[in-house]
Structure 1
Amino acid sequence: MLPELPFRSRRSPVVCLHGCVASSQPLASVIGTDILKKGGNAADAAVAVAAALNVTEPCSTGVGGDSFCLYYDARTGHVRGLNGSGRSARAQSLHLLESLGFSKGSPPPPFHALNITVPGAAACWCDTVRLFGSQKLSMADILEPACDLARQGFPVAEVTAFQWAKWTKAMRDAGRELGGDFLPNQQPPKHGQVITNPGLAQTFQEMAHRGKAGFYEGRVAEAVVNVIQENGGVLSLEDLKNHTSTEITPIYTDYKTVRLWEVPPNGQGMAALIALNIVENFPIKGMDHNSADYLHLLVEAFKLSLADATHFNADPAQVEVPLEGLLAKDYSQQRAQLIHMDRARAVKEAGIPRGSDTVYFCVVDGEGNACSFINSNYQGFGTGLVPHGCGFSLHNRGAFFSLDPSHANCMGPEKRPYQTLIPALLTEAASGRLLCSLGVMGAFMQPQGHIQVLLNMLEFGMDPQRALDAPRVFVQYDEAAQQWTVNLESGIEEDVAKELRGRGHVLRWPVEGHERAQFGRGQVISVGAWWDPGAAPSSDPHVPRVLWAGSDPRADGCAVGY
């Protein structure tokens, strides 16, 4: 019997002057601030946090998965980004899957080795430091704290222990035993149990000394390919050696006075931007927070944006995605006209635009740079396959491919799948000044979480911690039942749930305990109290810059500043 999770958080926002890190694990947050104090910048600290989270939260993230990064350069005021997602094997094709008995109606099981695309995180970490780092610290300096943590051990946190057990059971139920040393005495660790991972420390040491080649060539690469091919996958040493991250041009939309930045396809950042554009057509100021009208509007906007994202989002190197049309304000006005405030929309239908488990964390440094970073194995430990002696599991992001030959996101060789991973940044639309780094992990919850947390701050005047604490809504589409389901978190009033049911929504309410994980786990670091109309302008040179940070109570983590 897995334990319930009492929701007993009452946190103040963290306020500090110099630098701040917010992540889902306190040990990782502390490691990030230590890197800042040693002279590293936001990018250096983000990679140190990513490595530390691989140690402390392997049931969510790791170097065997993918990552994305948005970076705000305080010196230039520019937002830059990296797509650190991997591609499918060169030998992977629909024909291959069909010859193995798989089809659109019967895809490979989630934990199958055929779902392993090239793990992109290792290259993304190295490229983040190379492109955005301070150049004051080496990769060895940045990875050393995580190496120490893996060798010396760490006590497993409460939510992590639950997720570790949950995904161990899910894999066992599917006939897969979690590999490596992740199950001491053949059982998932308990809350507070100390765990070491010397294999992961060795992997990090090889990356520290050889950079990307320490992962994509040599011992680690051979171990990765061996375990994949032993379990029916087709990824090769050549696939690993040829992998590259991609520097991206972030996409954005303006909402009133702010500009929300997201990653472009194959990431689903456009889902957040489309939803925000739709919401802009309605008088939110006249609605109460989490009222029936407000939640109905969000739900209907999310349905429309997710329908577009799941239809159009794919690898832009192989498929043309009509981004300009999808993000156009006149397109959002057309989509907004499909929303009726008295009744729910039942269909999932993309528009026609003109010519579309995870950890999130963020860092703001003393110079005003910000790094918004997300890293994931996809489903818990991913496939649960652990390369011999390497200490990390291999993700299963390829399970997101469609096996429908007519779909934009159809499986194909050397192709990136639809990625749910999206970090975000917020700037002032007029000046380009950084307002905050934010993100909410959790598959299709991510764009929905971005919009809810942003509106909590901008429209309802909440500080970062209150914005993360507030109960959320999560909309998901059940393909088998051909219907939308609206999940309402405990804390949303019963009368609101009844009203939404009356408008035709299929509801799950109240969602409590560990089930709250579906609403994501977010982090926010804000520069100044821009959400408070009574606060002094952060741009005033006579007012000290104050960082305000919040960390999601649905996770084990915290924000740490100095």
Structure 2
Amino acid sequence: MRDFHHPGRSAAFAENGMCATSHPIAAQAAVEILKAGGNAVDAAIAGAVLLGLCEPAMTGIGGDCFALIKPAGSEDIIAINGSGRAPAALSAEALREKGHSKMPVFGDPAAVTIPGAIDAFCQLSQDHGKLGLDAVLAPTIRYAEAGVPVAPRAGFDWLHHHDNMNATARRFYLIDDAPPRVGQLFRHPQQAEVLRRVATQGRAGFYEGEVAEDMVASLRALGGVHTLEDFANTRSSYGTPVSGNYKGIELVEHPPNGQGATAILLANILAEFDLPSMEPFGTMRAHIEAEATKLAYDARERFVADMDHMTRLAHMLDPATAKKLAALIDPTRCIDNPRTLSAEAHKETIYITVVDSDRMAVSLIYSVFKDFGSGIASDKFGVLFQNRGAGFTLEAGHPNEAAGGKRPMHTIIPAMLKQNGRVIMPFGVMGGQYQATGHARMLTNMVDYGLGPQEMIDAPRCFSEFGEMKVEKGYSDKVRQELSDLGHAVSTPDVGIGGAQAIRIHHELGTLEGGSDPRKDGIALGY
């Protein structure tokens, strides 16, 4: 239970419908769609597209999405993959010949895969929505023309990452060549025009005609190999979720090319340890989670790829694999080289969740990957392109090797929890590489320590990445020292690790309980 002597926020409770996301205006727009007769899919699309305007460093119409949908009247979960593919002419060999040993990240069209989110939104609206694209895109069109006030966390990201953008992108996403100040109105009328075309023409308004021509011409002018055919052929796809059981709670994840299987593997490793006996925000839990993360992420780097090229999914999901990896963890010291040790055993995003009065639930994550994506924008309409191609490897023969028509490995993953066959919580965690660890942390916060949606989100986080253990300020100095003594390279991140949103469905009470991360600008809002 929250201690009301201390600052914080209460969980949001409502009966009829709820949205939890990282910006208040987007949450409000989603709830307004619910009140107007839309369902959770309509509301999620409305809020997500608006977030591309509110938080352009995180997401936008030049990005990708993944979603899990629980239809009304069913407990089955549907997965839709709205991640785009590499242009057909992309060649890892050609990139290696140019001197690349790794995929480019910023300013190079080789990092730009075809944006897949708009097609997925159109498909979801057609198959599962009620109101149609006209209604769900109207809030973003209105705000793109009138302006949206820059919120504090969005302003922080703008200030610290605007140098990732090229000259064209700066023209659309800066004001007088400077990042907008907190509270200043940011407008993007060209994006309003793109969305008007999508509202009237469907996916053709984006993937064909003048908008597609602008995107292709802009990328090719910088040396890209993208074609109009690549855009016209882009299609989202439905799939079957993957899942794992953690002490009676089923963790449901989107299948690869996202890293959902990594979260399941990590949870299975943690299940081999007696977490409830450990202090929830003490040294040993942090250490065990960090070591398990290293091993699970090593498996991710080895195996996760486009489903058409991945052969070790069953191996990652097998509890026996987790048991072998858990046996490699030493409680008294940290792992130096997880790749060598585990050989035999085998950053930027928004998230929105909506539940409606019929208990349709949507868990949707939508991203341009790095801050401001590739940093490249189209010349006429200012579509800011993702850099998801950076998720490929240039290692010859690797299942995730860059190639035309392939989907790269993605960090973004939506999730849901089920208990006794019923969905009890759609949730998601933002934060690039952190997301799989964030899912496991949310799950163990709830199952092992009894925390509710807001409490599990508020709780301090740590994350081992690239040889460094980032430990939030919520941990004590004693814990920091003890982690250092175990061999971890402890540091304090400049900003909180990731972000998260969740909605708990209380079937027995007939109510919804929402939590929203204070590390972001957002809110859980219901009616």
TM-score calculated relative to the size of structure 2: 0.95
Letter in 1 for 2:514: A
Counterpart position of 1:531 = none
5 Å matches for 1:43-82? Answer: 43-82=41-80
2:486 is equivalent to residue 503 of structure 1: yes
SS in 2 for 1:82: strand
1:547 aligns with 512
Superposition pairs of residues 275-294 of structure 1, within 5 angstroms = 275-294=266-285
Pick one of 143, 148, 160 that aligns with 1:149.
143
Residue 75 of structure 1 and its aligned partner are, at CA, apart by 1.2
* 1:140-289 alignment, distance < 5 Å: 140-171=134-165, 178-289=169-280
Aligned length in residues: 519
Whether the aligned pair in 2 keeps the contact of 1:152 and 1:196 (CA below 8 Å) is yes
Q: CA RMSD in A?
A: 1.6
Deviation of the 1:152 alpha carbon: 1.3
Corresponding residue number in structure 2 for 1:481: none
Residue pairs, 1:84-163, within 5 angstroms:
84-99=82-97, 101-104=98-101, 107-133=103-129, 136-163=130-157
- Aligned-pair CA distance for 1:391: 3.8
Q: Which amino acid aligns with 1:495?
A: K
Deviation of 1:63 (Å) = 0.8
- Within 2, Cα distance between the matches of 1:374 and 1:351? 32
CA positional deviation for 1:9: 5.6
Shift of residue 93, structure 1, vs aligned partner: 0.4
Contact 1:285 1:459 in 2 (8 A): yes
* TM superposition shift of 1:352: 5.1
Aligned partners of 2:133, 2:255: CA distance in 1, in Å? Answer: 28
How far 1:423 sits from its partner (Å)?
Answer: 0.6
CA distance in 1, matches of 2:510, 2:248: 20
Query: How many angstroms does 1:353 deviate by?
Result: 6.2
Question: Partner residue of 1:5?
Answer: none
Give the drift of 1:265.
Answer: 1.1
2:105·2:387 contact (CA, 8 Å) conserved in 1?
no
Q: Check whether the contact 2:168–2:379 (CA below 8 A) recurs between aligned residues.
A: no
Q: Which residue of 2 aligns with 1:326?
A: 316
Distance 1:192 1:200 in 2: 21
Q: Quick one: structure 1 residues 230 and 9, their matched pair in 2 at CA, closer, same or farther if it must change by over 3 Å? A: farther
Structure 2 CA distance, aligned partners of 1:370 and 1:104? 42
Structure 2 Cα separation of the partners of residues 237 and 522 of structure 1: 36
Q: 1:177 to 1:507 in 2, by over 3 A?
A: farther
**CA-CA distance at 1:176 after TM superposition:** 5.4
Q: Is the 8 A contact 2:249 2:418 kept in 1?
A: yes
Which structure 2 residues correspond to residues 452-531 of structure 1 after superposition, within 5 A?
452-477=441-466, 484-508=467-491, 510-511=492-493, 515-517=494-496, 519-528=497-506
What are structure 2's unaligned runs of at least 5 residues? 1-5
* Corresponding residue of 2:3: none
Q: Displaced runs of 4+ in structure 1, greater than 3 A?
A: 350-354
8 Å contact from structure 1 (residues 153, 197) kept in 2 = yes
Residue 414 (structure 1) aligned to one of 405, 410, 416? 405
Deviation, 1:475, is 1.4
* 1:293 counterpart letter in structure 2: M
For residues 72 and 437 of structure 1, the distance between their equivalents in structure 2, rounded to whole angstroms, comes to 9
Which residue in the other structure is 1:338 paired with? 328
Distance 1:254 1:442, change over 3 A: same
TM-score computed with the length of structure 1 as normaliser: 0.90
Q: Deviation of residue 109 (structure 1)?
A: 4.8
Q: Which AA in structure 2 matches 1:115?
A: A
Q: Which amino acid aligns with 1:309?
A: R
Query: Deviations along 1:15-67, whole A, 9 cap, x unmatched?
Result: 11110001111000000001111111111111101111111111110110110
Amino acid across the alignment from 1:491: G
Kindly report which structure 2 residues correspond to 1:368-447, keeping only aligned pairs within 5 A, or say none.
368-428=359-419, 431-447=420-436
CA distance in 2, matches of 1:294, 1:258: 20
Distance in 1 between residues matched to 2:68 and 2:329, nearest whole Å:
32
Q: CA deviation at 1:348?
A: 2.3
